[in-house]
């Protein structure tokens, strides 16, 4: 019998790639979304028209907001073997403007899921998507699973709270659950508010004559940028372990925003300095310590590896946006 998986946030970047992965592994996949009208044009559009997928191996459940009662009904009906909790307000920048939504969607919702799962006759194995934002303004040059949390945003605080809850439920109730501490991971399916998407889309627009200049915030900020499908494979690997623990998923490299800008403009043979303007209003309210994750635990215990490097990532991001700008078949969510 096929395994059943439930994915919250299935229409997002990670949720859609995870859906692709699990379907390829013959899972029965159940996804929760708040807006099913976007499925036909969003990150799952490539699956909507395939015979034998939707309603046969992929089932979409609609839930209004983040409602524990509705979620409990869905989980009790599906009885999943694995739960991948990816949903929630995902922008650290917006978390200052939407603190209550950020807390509820990233923390309260996680607690509700853990409680629902705890009382099942057969609790599911559960993954929680934590974030390198829990480290915030850490003084440690390289961050791993033992690095103390030092949050700098409401988003980071909500993720840290949920990560601790997952550990508490694992240790006190014996539930198989763990957190993936995910450093930045990009793809053409990234939401427009993220800087990688803005840069790649801006470069493509400049190359095709749609845009003259690109406005960006702090170019000196440093991040550990990886490739989303690689990270998603690690997420799946976590739940296949006999004993689930927390893992950092990162590349072990730190690159500035300027380096990403330069790499993207090089794809189209343009000098970034001739096309980029600094806009102070776009800088983060609180700039983080340079991010650099240590993924050695995931490599050693899971056999996980980062396959797509920084330069290739930039190439893929820009080429996907160029296809959209030039009207090629397909869309950026590939």
- Catalytic residue ranges: 131, 133, 155
Across 81-148, where does the E strand assignment appear?
82-85, 125-131
In 2-73, beta strands by DSSP E: 4-8, 28-33, 58-62
Both tokens of 231, joined, read 């990270």
- Write the CB contacts of 268 (distance below 8 Å, at least 6 apart in sequence): 203, 204, 206, 207, 318, 322
Question: Using CA atoms, how far apart are residues 83 and 120, in angstroms rounded to an integer?
Answer: 13
Q: CA torsion sign, 235 to 66 to 109 to 158?
A: positive
Would you tell me how many other CB atoms lie within 10 Å of the CB of residue 259?
A: 17
User: Cα dist. 193→190, 198, 201 in Å?
Assistant: 8, 7, 11
- 161-173 burial: b if 16+ Cβ within 10 Å, else e: bbbebbbebbeee
Token output for 48: 């909507």
- In angstroms, rounded to a whole number, what is the distance separating the alpha carbons of residues 235 and 249? 9
Within 10 Å of residue 208's Cβ, how many Cβ atoms? 15
Nearest CA to 234 out of 280, 298, 301, 191 is that of: 298
Q: In the 8-state DSSP scheme, what is residue 81?
A: S
- What is the radius of gyration, based on Cα positions, of the chain? 20
* C-alpha dihedral (11, 12, 14, 15), degrees to nearest 10: -20
Other C-beta atoms within 10 Å of 266: how many? 16
């Amino acid at each position: 019998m096929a395994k059943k998986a439930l994915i919250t946030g299935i229409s997002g970047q990670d949720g859609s790639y995870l859906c692709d992965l699990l379907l390829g592994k013959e899972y029965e996949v159940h996804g929760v979304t708040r807006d099913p009208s976007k499925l036909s044009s969003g990150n799952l559009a490539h699956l909507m028209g395939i015979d034998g997928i939707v309603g046969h191996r992929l089932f979409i459940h609609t839930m209004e907001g983040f409602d524990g009662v509705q979620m409990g009904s869905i989980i009790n009906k599906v009885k999943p073997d694995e739960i991948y909790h990816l949903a929630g307000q995902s922008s650290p920048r917006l978390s200052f403007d939407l603190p209550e939504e950020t807390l509820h969607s990233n923390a309260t919702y996680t607690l509700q899921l853990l409680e629902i799962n705890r009382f099942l006759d057969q609790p599911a194995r559960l993954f929680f998507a934590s974030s390198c934002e829990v480290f915030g303004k850490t003084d440690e040059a390289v961050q791993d699973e033992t690095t103390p949390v030092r949050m700098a945003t409401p988003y980071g605080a909500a993720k840290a709270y949920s990560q601790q809850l997952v550990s508490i439920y694992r240790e006190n109730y014996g539930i198989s659950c763990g957190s993936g501490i995910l450093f930045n991971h990009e793809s053409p399916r990234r939401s427009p508010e993220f800087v990688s998407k803005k840069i790649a889309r801006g470069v493509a627009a400049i190359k095709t004559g749609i845009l003259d200049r690109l406005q960006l915030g702090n170019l000196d900020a440093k991040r550990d940028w990886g490739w989303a499908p690689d990270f998603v494979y690690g997420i799946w690997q976590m739940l296949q372990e006999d004993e689930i623990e927390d893992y950092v998923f990162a590349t072990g490299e730190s690159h500035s925003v300027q380096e990403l800008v330069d790499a993207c403009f090089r794809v189209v043979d343009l000098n970034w300095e001739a096309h980029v303007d600094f806009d102070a209003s776009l800088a983060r309210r609180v700039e983080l310590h340079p991010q650099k994750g240590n993924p050695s635990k995931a490599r050693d215990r899971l056999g996980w590896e980062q396959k797509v490097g920084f330069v290739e990532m930039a190439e893929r991001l820009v080429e996907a946006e160029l296809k959209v700008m030039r009207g090629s078949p397909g869309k950026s969510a590939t």
